[in-house]
Amino acid sequence: MLSIRELTAGYGKLEILHQLSVDIQVNHMTTILGANGSGKSTLLKSIFGLTTITGGSITYNDREIIGISTENISKLGIAYVPQRENIFASMTVRENLALAVRKASRAEAALRIDRAFDLFPILTKRANQRTGLMSGGERQMVAIAMGWLMNPSLMLLDEPTAGLAPLVAKEVFETLYNLSQKGITLVIVEQNARTALRWCEDVCILREGTLVYQGRNDAFAEDDSLLHTYLGLLSIGKQ
């Protein structure tokens, strides 16, 4: 389990998350929702050791990870797929994937890249294409595949469907669901609440750097007023 207790974090002296506590269940798909600027990205970055943390604790499988370098956090099995600039546009799909396994032996790297192409078949045809020339959905698949190649037990994804057409967003979530079925725990920050609520069984909602709701997605299906209460229909889009 990923357990966050009274986390206070931000950037330098600027405090963004205020004593935020949340538990993320292993093998679940959890979505983090909330208005722009509510601290969703800051939460993911904090778990991955990329913010200034001034209080609280973050444990993964009972081990404190605050203060551990990003490199060592990834060695503990946590992968982070940032929202932007998550792949190299001037390099091909295969070259990007190779970067993710550069520390493995040549044989092991080749094997894992083959497995990545099995898991993300959409990339097979594009293996030798420069990612800068590909669609947003395809580029996102490359970013997710790179995260997966790090061999994680927990993946943190920041708005993996941002800017994608609904059908493409669905493909991304299908892919994430497949990873979840393989036993990977997923924490997914989303702008599109309706899509996220369809796929992710656990839901956290942030407001101004604090957690204002944690529950199951079923609750939203049963009670439409929850969406209004916590998100405001205007901010979640219609899909």
Ligand X SMILES: Nc1ncnc2c1ncn2[C@@H]1O[C@H](COP(=O)(O)OP(=O)(O)O)[C@@H](O)[C@H]1O
Rule CB under 6 A: say whether 34 interacts with ligand X.
yes
Decide: 158 and 189 in contact? Cβ < 8 Å.
yes
Binding region for ligand X (CB under 6 A) out of 30-38, 87-95, 108-116, 225-233: 30-38
- 165 binding partner (options Mg ion, ligand X, none; Cβ < 5 to 8 Å by kind): none
As a whole number of angstroms, the distance between CA 6 and CA 20 comes to 5
How far apart are the C-alpha atoms of 106 and 104, rounded to whole Å? 6
Q: Shortest approach of Mg ion to residue 41 CB, angstroms?
A: 3
CB of 83 to ligand X, least distance (A): 8
Among 41, 46, 140, 175, binds Mg ion (CB under 5 A): 41
What is the spatial distance between Cα 227 and Cα 34, in angstroms, rounded to a whole number? 11
> DSSP secondary structure string, 161-182?
TTT--HHHHHHHHHHHHHHHHT
**Rounded least distance, CB 193 to ligand X, Å:** 13
Q: Hey, what's the torsion of the CAs at 172, 176, 178, 181, to 10 degrees?
A: -160
Which of the choices Mg ion, ligand X, none does residue 34 contact, using the CB cut-off of 5 to 8 A by kind? ligand X
Task: Report the interface residues with Mg ion, using CB under 5 A.
Answer: 40-41
Task: Report the interface residues with ligand X, using CB under 6 A.
Answer: 11, 14, 16, 34, 36-42
